[in-house]
Amino acid sequence: RWLFTQAVCTLYAFCGVLFGLGSLTSLTVLSAVCCLKVCYPAYVLLLCVWAYALMFATAPLAEWGSYGPEPYGTACCITWKASSREATLYILALFIFCYLLPCLLILISYSLILWTVRVSRRAVSQH
């Protein structure tokens, strides 16, 4: 029988699930990255990029947000003046997932690349 309290049981189970799923997910991502690099160098990534863009571009067609004339009336784009809660959520989702998140990922990626190059340069110069 379990010798500890229900709280310890919950914590134990949570940790088991968290670390088990984290390990399995890490192995999954690593194998997928290896597969993509070896078997489908750019095609799958490009397909994912365009699927991501298509998802957000078609959202106004499904009435989550909307398209309309720009303020000067010479072209059309997303209706930025939200007229409903759904439109506000769409604009917020665009900001987070199509601007903020990509900018952060780009910043983090290039920072890590620069840090790795700097560490590698130091290691080479020490030899």
Tens-digit pLDDT profile for residues 14-69: 899 899 888 988 898 888 888 877 887 777 778 888 999 999 999 999 989 989 88
pLDDT at 101 over 90: yes
In sequence order, what are the beta bridge partners of 78? 67
Q: What are the extents of the domains in the chain?
A: 6-125
Predicted pLDDT of residue 114: 92
**Distance between CA atoms of 9 and 3, rounded to whole angstroms?**
9
**Distance between CA atoms of 38 and 82, rounded to whole angstroms?**
45
Q: Which tokens hold the place of 26?
A: 């890490």
3-class state of residue 47 by DSSP = helix
Predicted pLDDT of residue 72: 83
The sign one gets for the Cα dihedral 106, 112, 114, 116 is negative
Mean of the per-residue pLDDT values for the chain? 89
